[in-house]
Amino acid sequence: MAYATTQQLTRYYDLYKNIDVTFTKEVIAILGLQTQQVFLKADGRQWPCIINSSSLVGAKVIAGTKNGLIPKIQKDVSALSLRFSFVDNENKEPVSFFINSKATGFSPYGSNNDLVLIQLQYIQRAPDFIIEKIGSLLDANVNSKRRKEDRILITADTMRKIGILQKETIIFIQGVPRRCILRDISFSGAKVIMIGIAQFIKDKDIVLRIDFEDPRTAIGLHGKITRTEDVRDRKDLVALAIQFVENEIPMTYKMHLNHYISMLSKHDINRMQNQRIQQMESMPIGTEGSSSSSGSKEQTEKTAQQEPSQSQNVESGQPAENQSFAGKIDLNTLDIDF
């Protein structure tokens, strides 16, 4: 993913500077933090520590109480620096730096008397590298809620920009793997096409696998099939609408989608919404809920075969369960080979 611009960094800092990010295993992996290379520097020496959480203006670190660090800090609470070390995902090179800090508080860490939680306040602006890392993570988390129903149509262009390796993938329906094709995705759900009978699939718990690159990883998304529909001209296929379990959506998935959605300008979003309004207003009264059946068959197939523009790839404000498959899917464009 590309480096953030100065404008993006300023936006991240202004919006998210006071929000703490807890350094879970998932967050550590996403950020590329090298935990063995994190130190507190005081009185000319370096002591190992563990980052518990960090914002863009401070951090909380865990340190030992028996190695002489605490007396050194208490001697001069403003003569500290915190060393971060990362592996840059862009070029795989290590990135390390110190942030000058001061200690603002000490508290026991749990019931372990050998560990202490130290609250640090940065006395200099955090480096751009960490502003981009933490800012992009927080931005993805915010947009995953604010724009959770924005649907991204799976095309060669959107796959490349999001970093999806292939649209052919696997869906585990109650633990049984089945091959499927990704049709579209959002922060909150997805649509897929597979061989099956609708009545035996609806309301089943699933895990949808999506393979990403940069970094290369396979993500499992837990969810439920909320709706099924037949596929035009193929009685052996079924289209599935999937709702993800919100509190189990991996952060990596959110960041990949946010990277793509953030590239859409406000103008693109407004134009897209205006197109949808005009489409609804042009329908005869009483057909607003059945847009999939309006228009001729030839026009529908022509629309399905067109490569959508960037402003058409995301359909804002429409929950996945309210969208219809019928009449929109051209099997010639899906390259299905089950």
More confident site: 158 or 319: 158
Separation CA 241–CA 198 (nearest Å): 11
| Average pLDDT of span 132-142 | 95
Given this model, what pLDDT does residue 83 score?
96
Rounded to whole angstroms, what are the CA distances from 213 to 6, 12, 165, 195, 285?
Answer: 26, 25, 6, 27, 46
Given this model, what pLDDT does residue 324 score?
44
Q: 215 preceded by cis ω (within 30°)?
A: yes
Given this model, what pLDDT does residue 269 score?
54
| Average pLDDT of span 290-313 | 40
Given this model, what pLDDT does residue 271 score?
60
Compute, in degrees rounded to 10, the torsion defined by CA atoms 260, 264, 266, 268.
Answer: -140
Given this model, what pLDDT does residue 316 score?
38
| Average pLDDT of span 193-209 | 91
Given this model, what pLDDT does residue 281 score?
55
Given this model, what pLDDT does residue 332 score?
42
pTM of the entire predicted model: 0.74
Domains of the chain: 6-145 (2.40.10.220), 148-280+299-333 (2.40.10.220)
Residues with Cβ within 8 Å of 56's Cβ and at least 6 positions away in sequence, in order, are 12, 13, 16, 17, 18, 126, 130, 131, 134, 135
Which pLDDT tens digit goes with each residue over 104-132?
999 999 888 889 999 999 999 999 999 99
Which pLDDT tens digit goes with each residue over 16-68?
999 999 999 999 999 999 999 999 999 888 999 999 999 999 999 999 988 88
- 311, 264 in Cβ contact below 8 A? yes
Does residue 325 register a pLDDT over 50? no
Percent of the chain topping pLDDT 90: 58
Six-digit token string for 112: 């372990």
Which pLDDT tens digit goes with each residue over 226-284?
999 888 888 889 999 999 999 999 999 999 999 898 877 545 655 655 565 566 556 55
Residue type for position 327: G
Query: What would the DSSP string read from start to end of 233-269?
Result: TEEEEEEEEEEE-GGG--HHHHHHHHHHHTTS-HHHH
